[in-house]
């Protein structure tokens, strides 16, 4: 996220990002808008209900293009999170960083999300 901060992008603008993926079965280009979760210097994406098609495409890709409002596209590589402190910290941060209407839903569903949620760290490809 240092890239966005250094370029003067407001913190709220970086919450919704576009990922340009390739369908793992079809090979067709796909895009998805997702909430970018930040913990420390890390960038994370995921889904509280578990595996989705876009997460499977993300996991299958060597790297994908991520576009943050106001910045040139960035190349990122995903790293699936296993059970542990990093994943737990991301889930805690998710409830705070979701759009306002979704925050209470995330808080109420915390146990389910800890059990079922699938999250990935996005590392910048240099």
- Do the Cβ atoms of 46 and 120 come closer than 8 Å? yes
Sheet of strand 118-124: strand arrangement:
29-35, 16-22, 64-68, 74-80, 118-124, 42-47, 37-39
Chain segment 28-67, per-residue pLDDT in tens: 999 999 999 999 999 999 999 999 999 999 999 999 999 9
Looking at the structure of the chain, the number of domains it has is 1
* Strand pairing class (16-22; 42-47): unpaired
Asked whether residue 6 carries a pLDDT value surpassing 60, the answer given is no
Q: What is the CATH number of the domain that holds 83?
A: 2.30.110.10
The reported pLDDT for the residue numbered 7 is 45
Structural domain of 39: 2-124
Name the DSSP class of 52: -
User: What percentage of the chain has pLDDT greater than the value 90?
Assistant: 71
């Amino acid at each position: 996220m240092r890239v966005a901060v250094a370029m003067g992008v407001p913190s709220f603008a970086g919450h919704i990002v576009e990922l340009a993926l390739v369908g793992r079965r079809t090979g067709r280009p796909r895009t998805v808008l997702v909430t970018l979760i930040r913990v420390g210097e890390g960038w994370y994406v995921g889904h509280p209900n578990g595996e989705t098609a876009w997460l499977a495409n993300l996991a299958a890709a060597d790297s994908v293009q991520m576009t943050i409002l106001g910045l040139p596209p960035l190349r990122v590589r995903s790293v699936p999170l296993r059970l542990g402190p990093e994943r737990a910290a991301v889930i805690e941060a998710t409830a705070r960083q979701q759009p306002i209407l979704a925050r209470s839903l995330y808080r109420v569903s915390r146990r389910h999300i800890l059990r079922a949620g699938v999250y990935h760290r996005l590392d910048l490809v240099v």
